[in-house]
Amino acid sequence: MDMDVDEPTKGQEEKQGKPIIVVLMGAPGSGKSTFCEQVMGSSVRPWVRVCQDTIKNGKAGTKAQCIESARSALREGKSVFIDRCNLEKEQRDEFVKLGGPQVDVHAVVLDLPAKLCISRSVKRTGHEGNLQGGKAAAVVNRMLQKKELPNLSEGFGRITFCQNESDVESAIRTYSGLGPLDTLPHGTFGQKSPGAKVQLGIMKFLKKTDVPTNTESTSNKVQDSNASQITGGKDTVKGTGLFTESGSMESKKGEQPVVGSAGTDVSLDNAPTLAFPSISTADFQFDLEKASDIIVEKVAEFVNKLGNARLVLVDLTHKSKILSLVRAKASQKNIDSKRFFTFVGDITKLHSEGGLCCNVIANAANWRLKPGGGGVNAAIFNAGGPALEVATKEQAKSLYPGNAVVVPLPSTSPLFCREGVTHVIHVLGPNMNPQRPNYLDNDYSKGCKILHDTYTSLFEGFASIVRTQKKVFKGSFGNLRLKLPESKDHSESGPTNHSTNTYQKIKREDLHESERNKRSKGDQAEAENDSDSNASKSNLHSDGSKNKSWGTWAQAVYNIAMHPEKQRDVVLEISDDVVVLNDLYPKAQKHLLVVARHPGLDRLADVCKEHIQLLRTMHAVGLKWAEKFLHDDSTLVFRLGYHSEPSMRQLHLHVISQDFNSAHLKNKKHWNSFNTAFFRDSVDVLEEVSSDGKAILNDDESLMSMELRCNRCRSAHPTIPKLKLHIGRCRASFPSTLLENGRLVTAPSNSSNDP
C-alpha cells in the first residue's frame, strides 16, 4: 500500500524530534543576526531564521509575516530563530503563542552594554534594516529605555541571559551543539534575578560624548572563546549538557555549561546529586546490555524514593556505548530527566570543568579499597588525596562484591574544596575478567544478582546521605552549591603540606557561604531550630543586623588568625592583634591580607567604636607593608580597604596594588569587589567608626554586576581581557575621590598617606 509522503511514520516522528522556537531579544547591535548565522552555520539541526528586515523578498516586512513564516517552518519540523529586537513583552507575546506540547519556546536575551551596541550600530555598513551611522545611537537608546526583560511566566520554557560576549559565545555553543533529537533543560540561566524590568542602568551615563568614534575597536562578531568568563553570576566551567530524546543529559567537554550557572532552575542545580560510573563494565568486563538493563531498573526503583535528589551516570567519552544504551532504555521507561540523566566528563572534575554540582560521587573500587589499578578508582583516589585514603581506612579495610561503603570526605580533600563533594561511596561489582579477583567465569546469573545488589547498596547509601543532610540542613541543598576558583588555581598546591593546603584548599574566591554536614552538635541544634522566631532572638545583633553562618572552608582565615603558630609557612607577620598573609588568589601584583586576631570580629559589620584602636593598628600595619613594596617598586599604587560583605570569616584588611595585573582576576565580580562602593577604604572606615560607632556597608548585590569601568579614567569595557589591556596602557589620573584623604598610597615623594 502506498503511503502519503507528507505523513511521517511513528518512527520518523521520533527521529524528527521536537522543534524549538528561539525568540532573540536585544537592542540593535547586540549581535542577534550574528548569533543566528553562527548557530546555523555549524548546527546539524534544521534552523530557519525569521528576520523582519528581510521577510519580504529581502526587504522589510511586517510582524504578521514573521509569525506566518515561523508557523510554516515549525509545521515542517524545523526550529526557528525570531531575529527581531523583541524588547517589550507585547512584541514577543504572539511568537510565544506559537509554542505548545510539540514546540519548545526559548528566549535568548542579548543584554549587552548599551555602549557596545551603539558602537557596533554606528560603525556597521550594509545593514539589512539600514540602521547604521549617526542615527543608530539615538535609536538604540530609545529602544533600551522601553526594555522589559522576560519571565518564564510569559510562556517561555527556557530563558538564557547573555550579559557579555563570553555569555553569547556559550549560548552559541549550546544551540550549535543541539542535534535533531536533543532538547535543553527548562529554567532561567545566566541571571540571578530574572524578570527585572530594566537590568542595566547604562543609558543614564550615555551622553553625546559617549557615542563611540570610529577609532574604537569593536566587532559584531562574537569574541574568541578565550575571552573573560563571568563567575560572579556563574562559575567558569567547561562542558555542555544536552538533554537527548531519552530524557538523559550528555555533556560536550570543553564547552560552556547548560547546567551549573547561577540562574539555573533550582530544582536542577541545587538538588543533592550522586554521580556514578557504570559499575563493572570496564575493568571487570561485564556485558553492557545486561549492565544497562540493571542500571535502568535500579534507577527506576530508587529515583522516586529520593525526593528531589538526582542520579547522574557519568562516562569520559561521547562514544560510550553504556551511556547510549542507558539513555534509550531510560526513555522507554519514561524516567524523569530532571532526576536521572547521563553526563560526559571526568567524574573527579564535574563541577570545576563540567558545571555539574554533585555532592556525592561513587567509586568503582577494588576489594582492598586501595588506590591504584587504573580507571575510575585510581582517578578518584588521586583526586581525593591522602585525606580520602585515610577516611576510607576509618570506614572499612576491604569490600565484598555487591556491597558499598559510604565515606564522609574531610574538608582537607581537594575533592571537597574544589568540587564540593561531601561523600565518596565505594562500591564493588561482579567480575567477568579472569585477570581480576573473584572471577565469575561468565556466570551471568550470579553476576546479575551481584550487580543488582551493587546498585542497591550504592543508591541506599546515597539515600542515607540525603536523609542525614536533609535533617541537618532542613531540606535545603542550595547551600551546597559552590562558586569555585578554576581548577588551575587549585592544582598549584600539592597534597603534602597540611598547613599550607588547609589554607590553599579551603580558601575560596566568591563562594556562597554555606553549611556542611560535618557540623558540631551546637551548630546542628542551631540549624534544626532556626525558625524565624528563634532567629529573631538569637541571630540578631543589638542593632538589628543578622549574624552570618560560615561554611567550613570559609573558616580558613579565621583558623590562621586564631592559631598562627600552626601556619607559619603562610604567615608573613604575627602580633597580638593581627597576622599578615598573602592572599592566596591575589587580584594584583601585590595583594596582602591584614587579619584581626580578636574573636567575634567576623566582618566589618561586627565592628563598633571599641574596636577603633584595632582598626588603626590594622591600617598602620597595612601602610607599613605597602611602603615596603613601594620601596622596591615606586611605580606601584595601593589601596587599603575592606569588603562590605566578605567571603571569608574574620575581619581582614586588603592591601592591594592598583595595577590589577593578575591571572586570578578573571571576572566581573572580582573586579567590582575592589572597584565599586562595595570596597570600603580603610581611612573612611576609621572616620565612620570613630564618629558614628560603625562603618557604612555597601553590600548590595547589584554592585557586583555593574559595568566594567577602568579604575583610572572610568571608561567602560565589555570584557575582563579588554579591560586589562586598557589598564595596562591607561595613564589617566585616578578619580578625584580616590586622590583625597589618603585613600591611595603611593611612593613617599608623591603622596602623604596618614589616616
Closest to 265 measured CA to CA, from 189, 161, 162:
189
Q: Tell me how far apart the alpha carbons of residues 296 and 412 are, in angstroms, rounded to a whole number.
A: 35
Neighbours of 375 (CB within 10 A): 15
Within this chain, do residues 331 and 394 fall inside the same structural domain, yes or no? Answer: yes
Residue 34's CATH number: 3.40.50.300
Domain span including residue 713: 554-745
Q: Which three cell numbers stand for residue 53?
A: 528586515
Q: What is the pLDDT of residues 231-282, one digit of tens each?
A: 233 333 333 333 333 333 333 333 333 333 223 333 344 689 999 999 989 8
Residues serving a catalytic function are: 652
Q: Tell me how far apart the alpha carbons of residues 194 and 216 are, in angstroms, rounded to a whole number.
A: 32
What single DSSP character describes residue 567?
Answer: G
Q: Tell me how far apart the alpha carbons of residues 499 and 512 are, in angstroms, rounded to a whole number.
A: 24
The neighbouring-strand residues paired with 24 are 108
Q: Which of 187, 207, 227 marks a domain boundary? A: 207
Q: Tell me how far apart the alpha carbons of residues 647 and 482 are, in angstroms, rounded to a whole number.
A: 12
Residue 695's CATH number: 3.30.428.10
Least confident range of 424-433, 541-550, 690-699: 541-550
Contact of 578 with 595, CB cutoff 8 Å: yes
- 48 φ, ψ to 5°? -125, 130
What single DSSP character describes residue 79?
Answer: E
- For residue 134, name the pLDDT band (cuts at 50, 70, 90): low
Return left, alpha or beta for 642; rule: phi > 0 is left, psi -120 to 50 is alpha, else beta.
Answer: beta
The number of domains in the chain is 3
**Residue whose C-alpha cell is 591522602:** 386
Q: What pLDDT score does 713 carry?
A: 93
Q: Which three cell numbers stand for residue 704?
A: 557586583
Q: Which three cell numbers stand for residue 744?
A: 591611595
**In a domain? residue 537:** no
**In a domain? residue 732:** yes
Least confident range of 178-182, 346-350, 536-540: 536-540
- Using N-to-C axis directions, what is the helix angle for 89-96 and 63-75, rounded to 10°? 30
Within this chain, do residues 394 and 350 fall inside the same structural domain, yes or no? Answer: yes
Q: Region 199-211: what's the mean pLDDT?
A: 36
Q: Which of 189, 207, 225 marks a domain boundary? A: 207
Within this chain, do residues 166 and 248 fall inside the same structural domain, yes or no? Answer: no
Angle at 117 between CA 171 and CA 55, to 5 degrees: 75
**Residue whose C-alpha cell is 563493572:** 280
Within this chain, do residues 23 and 110 fall inside the same structural domain, yes or no? Answer: yes
Residue 610 has pLDDT above 50, yes or no: yes
The neighbouring-strand residues paired with 105 are 21
**In a domain? residue 198:** yes
Q: Tell me how far apart the alpha carbons of residues 300 and 333 are, in angstroms, rounded to a whole number.
A: 8
Q: What pLDDT score does 270 carry?
A: 62
- Using N-to-C axis directions, what is the helix angle for 668-675 and 720-729, rounded to 10°? 50
Within this chain, do residues 471 and 564 fall inside the same structural domain, yes or no? Answer: no
**In a domain? residue 500:** no
Query: Which whole-number Å values give the CA distances from 5 to 9, 12, 19, in the listed order?
Result: 10, 12, 20
Within this chain, do residues 203 and 260 fall inside the same structural domain, yes or no? Answer: no
Q: What is the pLDDT of residues 621-642, one digit of tens each?
A: 999 999 999 998 999 999 999 9
DSSP secondary structure string, 157-203?
SEEEEE-SHHHHHHHHHHHHT--TT-B---EEES-SSTT-S-----G
Task: Report the number of secondary-structure helices (H) and strands (E) in the chain.
Answer: 23, 23
Side chain identity at 336, as an amino acid letter?
D
Q: What is the SS3 assignment for 47?
A: strand
**In a domain? residue 582:** yes
**In a domain? residue 671:** yes
Contact of 613 with 578, CB cutoff 8 Å: no
Q: Tell me how far apart the alpha carbons of residues 677 and 734 are, in angstroms, rounded to a whole number.
A: 15
Q: What is the pLDDT of residues 680-716, one digit of tens each?
A: 999 999 999 999 999 999 988 889 989 999 999 999 9
Mean pLDDT of the chain: 77
Q: Which of 449, 475, 501 marks a domain boundary? A: 475
Q: What pLDDT score does 397 carry?
A: 84
SS3 content of the chain, % helix, strand, coil (to 5): 40, 15, 45
The pairing of strands 158-162 and 104-110 is parallel
Return left, alpha or beta for 716; rule: phi > 0 is left, psi -120 to 50 is alpha, else beta.
Answer: beta
Within this chain, do residues 188 and 246 fall inside the same structural domain, yes or no? Answer: no
- 437 φ, ψ to 5°? -65, 160
Least confident range of 104-113, 248-257, 413-422, 660-669: 248-257
Closest to 236 measured CA to CA, from 31, 471, 489:
489
**In a domain? residue 231:** no
What is the rounded (10 degree) CA torsion for 328, 334, 340, 341?
30
Burial class (CB in 10 A: 0-12, 13-18, 19+), 565: exposed
**In a domain? residue 678:** yes
Within this chain, do residues 192 and 255 fall inside the same structural domain, yes or no? Answer: no
Q: Region 366-380: what's the mean pLDDT?
A: 86
**Residue whose C-alpha cell is 521577510:** 55
Q: Which three cell numbers stand for residue 458?
A: 550504592
- For residue 6, name the pLDDT band (cuts at 50, 70, 90): very low
Within this chain, do residues 273 and 195 fall inside the same structural domain, yes or no? Answer: no
Neighbours of 517 (CB within 10 A): 18
- For residue 211, name the pLDDT band (cuts at 50, 70, 90): very low
- 379 φ, ψ to 5°? -65, -45
H/E stretch holding 80: strand 79-83
Within this chain, do residues 405 and 268 fall inside the same structural domain, yes or no? Answer: yes
Least confident range of 282-296, 541-555, 606-620: 541-555
Q: What is the pLDDT of residues 701-755, one digit of tens each?
A: 889 989 999 999 999 999 999 999 999 999 999 998 899 889 999 987 544 444 4
DSSP secondary structure string, 582-620?
E-SS-SSSSEEEEEE--TT--SGGG--GGGHHHHHHHHH
DSSP secondary structure string, 85-104?
---SHHHHHHHHTT-BTTBE
Within this chain, do residues 201 and 58 fall inside the same structural domain, yes or no? Answer: yes
Residue 657 has pLDDT above 90, yes or no: yes
Within this chain, do residues 586 and 643 fall inside the same structural domain, yes or no? Answer: yes
Q: What pLDDT score does 526 carry?
A: 35
pTM: 0.37
